[in-house]
Structure 1
């Protein structure tokens, strides 16, 4: 019997890798993308495409009913749709929370609830951790997000928890990197030219997860059939910015890189200017007030015990290995 899966936000960085894994498993794979979204990484002819109207609940219910009548239900839905930067700050709440609310309620109304609804959330939904002793952020800690992005993700999680019996699974990865990702790419590009910009003067411990490890965690959750659970995901080791710089420089064959430390106050000013300037031009800025709070945070260590014990999640990529693979891809595609 054919296993059907839907991946929303499939045109994005993480979405493309999820689609690739679903296809490799022989699933009937549906990619939820807008008509205006690039399909550069969704070229397999086996992919089936669908475009939902998340903003209109009534239309969304009708779309789902029509799909059910023609193709049947999806066994699994991975909701990877979301925004990390917006022209209008209210869009964080409208898209990251509001679309999840509309979509899940429409699935219930159309009798299209899957075996599992996997939500891509973020470690940012838990907010700032212990920046004195650097104890790991734990699922049992009280969430207190300090960014619009994190708040919107937490609201989406809380909505899922409020739905009686709804088979959700929440993935909360730390910083995700990999081929064709753009934020860490900008850092690598800066290192290529001999400079590494570091925020603040206090110690900072950062964590990562390679995109292929994140995808494996998602499908391990499917294999284990867990529901109504949430998981922090990272490689399991913390790094300093100098270690990240060293791995990138070595992969690039760069002997000397100058670390440039930026005071917190200076970064705040630059972030505000960049955000307001982009807004005047009708664009989004990678550097903004939300991003500032993320970069300011000193402790990104999280407890991945639940993912290891319940999913059998064992990351295969160290930061060094992942960086080497990334740099190779960026060079092959003439990004670096």
Structure 2
């Protein structure tokens, strides 16, 4: 009899790859999605769709005890919102209802895995030591702050079967945020904000999916926390260099003054003030885009959950760009 896994946020970018990896691992996959979600691309990997109300802890408990899940992975999150309260309501409130339900339910739970973000820790100085799981919280965005609150909320379950995964910038097929950069590069423009050097980290989405499942399979005991990257550190030009290598595009590299970009970001924020949409660029977003260093130490994940990333940025981008071309995104 196959063990059951419940994956929230299954219709999203990471969720798509996670349900596929879970199916390949031999699990019975249940996907928690909204009733309005497009599930056409994941239905072949999913044994059952469920529609939990994350505002109702008792209803969640009913679902968990009915289905008797062995693993629960909470990948659903809100990354941007018009106001910070909405981020807190979803990323903290909904997560609390689910976590409380998981640990109060009578189920054969082996692991609850919560997907946080390196944004909760925030960047460090360029010459600082690589980020470890012991770094203090210093988020620079509302999203990062909401993840800090979620992680602190989970402290009450520190003695429970809980793993927290903090991925750095995630890329891969179907990703839409970094894709904006690829569209710009594809148009021949290699733009940067200022000239200050940076240390950047990335993780290919399939490696992240396997890290999450490894936390399910190999973690034991109380709360564990893992920062996840591909194990390498890149300068700010590496992504464009690799893009050029696999696209044979001629790129025009230029640097925009920080003050100019900040002004544009403020204008965009004002322009979208009465809109339901959120601009791609806004003042707080610059804190992440211009951060000195996201260099990270992943030795703990290698030791505890046997995390072995298979894709460096070159290998992952090659596959990602090919997917974008095959699916007419580029």
**TM-score by shorter chain over 0.5:** yes
1:164 to partner: Cα distance: 5.2
Unaligned 5+ runs, structure 1: none
Residue 335 in 1 paired to residue 329 in 2? yes
The one of 221, 230, 235 aligned to 2:215: 221
1:272 to partner: Cα distance: 2.5
1:15 to partner: Cα distance: 0.5
Unaligned 5+ runs, structure 2: none
Q: Decide whether the 8 Å contact of 1:235 with 1:315 is kept in 2.
A: yes
Partners of 1:66 and 1:217 lie apart in 2 by 26
The one of 143, 162, 168 aligned to 1:149: 143
Q: 1:297 aligns to what? A: 291
RMSD (Å), alpha carbons: 1.7
Q: Decide whether the 8 Å contact of 1:85 with 1:286 is kept in 2.
A: no
Count of residues in Structure 1 that have an aligned counterpart in Structure 2 = 329
Deviates more, 1:4-13 or 1:98-107: 98-107
Partners of 1:265 and 1:112 lie apart in 2 by 54
Q: Report the secondary structure of 1:261's partner residue.
A: strand
Over 3 Å counting, the alpha-carbon distance change for 1:266 and 1:25 in structure 2 is same
1:162 to partner: Cα distance: 1.7
1:289 to partner: Cα distance: 3.1
Q: 2:110 aligns to what? A: 115
Residue 267 in 1 paired to residue 279 in 2? no
> In the TM superposition, what are the counterparts of 1:197-212 in structure 2 within 5 Å?
197-212=191-206
Q: Decide whether the 8 Å contact of 1:76 with 1:114 is kept in 2.
A: yes
Q: 2:301 aligns to what? A: 307
Partners of 2:40 and 2:263 lie apart in 1 by 36
CA offsets, 1:167-219, max 9 Å, x none?
A: 11011111100001011111111111110221222111111100011111112
- TM-score, structure 2 normalization: 0.94
Q: Decide whether the 8 Å contact of 2:115 with 2:165 is kept in 1.
A: yes
Partners of 1:138 and 1:45 lie apart in 2 by 34
CA offsets, 1:114-148, max 9 Å, x none?
A: 321101111111123123x1421122222121211
CA offsets, 1:66-90, max 9 Å, x none?
A: 5523x3x110011001011113332
Partners of 1:310 and 1:152 lie apart in 2 by 27
Over 3 Å counting, the alpha-carbon distance change for 1:245 and 1:127 in structure 2 is same
> In the TM superposition, what are the counterparts of 1:1-336 in structure 2 within 5 Å?
1-44=1-44, 46-55=46-55, 57=56, 60-66=57-63, 68-69=65-66, 71=67, 73-112=68-107, 114-131=109-126, 133-163=127-157, 165-226=159-220, 227-254=222-249, 256-336=250-330
Partners of 1:232 and 1:107 lie apart in 2 by 23
Over 3 Å counting, the alpha-carbon distance change for 1:211 and 1:66 in structure 2 is closer
Q: Decide whether the 8 Å contact of 2:219 with 2:305 is kept in 1.
A: no
Partners of 2:62 and 2:105 lie apart in 1 by 6
Partners of 1:325 and 1:160 lie apart in 2 by 36
Partners of 2:234 and 2:45 lie apart in 1 by 40
Q: Report the secondary structure of 1:196's partner residue.
A: strand
Over 3 Å counting, the alpha-carbon distance change for 1:164 and 1:330 in structure 2 is closer
Deviates more, 1:108-117 or 1:147-156: 108-117
